[in-house]
Amino acid sequence: MYGLYVLGFVVSCLFALLLTPLVKRFAFWVGAIDKPNHRKVHTRIMARMGGVAIFLAFVGAYFVISPALSDVNGNAALALVLGGFVIVLTGALDDRFELSPRWKLLGQFVAACIVVACGLKINEFNVPFGGHFSLPDYVSMPLTVLWIVGVSNAVNLIDGLDGLSAGVSGIGTGTILVLALLTPFSDAFTVILLCTILLGSISGFLFYNFHPAKIFMGDSGALFLGFALATLSILGFKVSVVLSLLTPIMILGVPLSDTFFAIMRRFLNKKPISEADKNHLHHCLLQLGFSHRTTVLIIYGIAAMFGAVAVILNNYTDSAWLTVLIVVILLFVLVVGAEAIGIISSSQKPVIRFLQKLFVKPSVNSRLPK
């Protein structure tokens, strides 16, 4: 069994290594290029559409080893292949023609509906102190579509530095893989296999995408990785006894939190939510003086921390109070860190100011009358 997992990883990694240079040439040929501007950190014209190589490597590796498979969930694989094709096509068209948000959203919606049609839905979850909840179809189906579309866009939003989105997605995929290995459930084999294949595709592509990048994944890659992560998280936890509403959120903590802070920032600044800016997590770290590579590695570390919390919540926490305590501490650290780097606002830092008043005693000179 483990031999199949290793084979899937190796084959997909080799496919990605071989296909990425070909996709790069194709991207230049069709004009799918990314030109520098005031919002971007790169200084030369780069090929996009790298996500096509990731997707082809993933699909190719799956079909290479599929003759040896018997216990795989065919509906899950079909959802990733068909839905993935739709979302990669949407992203590739955007990489070339810069589609309007309406058309991009339509492609994501169709891909998410394919997943639902294949029988993958968020139909149950556990909440601390709240017990187990089962959702009717009229709730689970739109919730699943919203989850897939939301995660796809969240991963797309953090795709601003070489290797950032691919690496964070790889860490998320690895977290789902670890959880599937530790948690026995009916579709564990399918989740582990698909995760190892996806991880191999990401690893092969990162060889060309890590700083200094030779090709960008573009929307075709970021949307596909977000789509795949959202779908795998549904498959991995939809029938698990220890299913938690928080676990998939923690796995995708970096893109989801960055998206949340972007919404808050634009709301406070009275700007449209869809308006792009240069105040995402990676932008703020660069403005603090960190190098391109160091910034990416810092965010990798944050993603790994979220992944570790997801593993703890899903496997080693029996007490609801302990679960709540861990989540509260994590949220507190997240908010303080966000205020410290100015991801929400450079001037409004209420939590940090409260902590300063609480723990920092005023000096003698500050108490003397002027």
Q: Which of 127, 152, 147 has its CA nearest to residue 222? A: 152
Annotated binding site: 156, 219
pLDDT above 70: residue 219: yes
Say if residue 350 is preceded by a cis peptide, omega within 30 of 0: no
Q: Do β-strands 124-127 and 131-134 pair in parallel, antiparallel, or remain unpaired?
A: antiparallel
Segment 298-322 shows an average pLDDT of 79
- d(CA 146, CA 154) in angstroms, rounded, equals 12
DSSP 134: E
pLDDT digits (tens, 9 = 90+) for 38-73: 555 556 788 999 999 999 999 999 999 887 777 777
Long-range contacts of 107-113 (CB under 8 A, 24+ apart): 108/148, 108/149, 108/152, 108/153, 108/223, 108/227, 109/145, 109/149, 110/86, 111/83, 111/84, 111/86, 111/87, 111/148, 111/152, 111/227, 112/83, 112/144, 112/145, 112/148, 112/149, 112/227, 113/145
pTM for this predicted structure: 0.87
Annotated binding site for Mg(2+): 156, 219
**Max CA-CA distance within the chain?**
84
Helix/strand/coil for 47: strand
- d(CA 177, CA 123) in angstroms, rounded, equals 21
Residue type, 251: I
- d(CA 39, CA 314) in angstroms, rounded, equals 39
Q: Where are the domains of the chain?
A: 2-367
Q: Is 328 exposed, middle or buried (0-12, 13-18, 19+ CB in 10 A)?
A: exposed
pLDDT digits (tens, 9 = 90+) for 257-308: 888 888 888 777 777 776 667 777 887 888 888 888 999 999 999 889 888 8
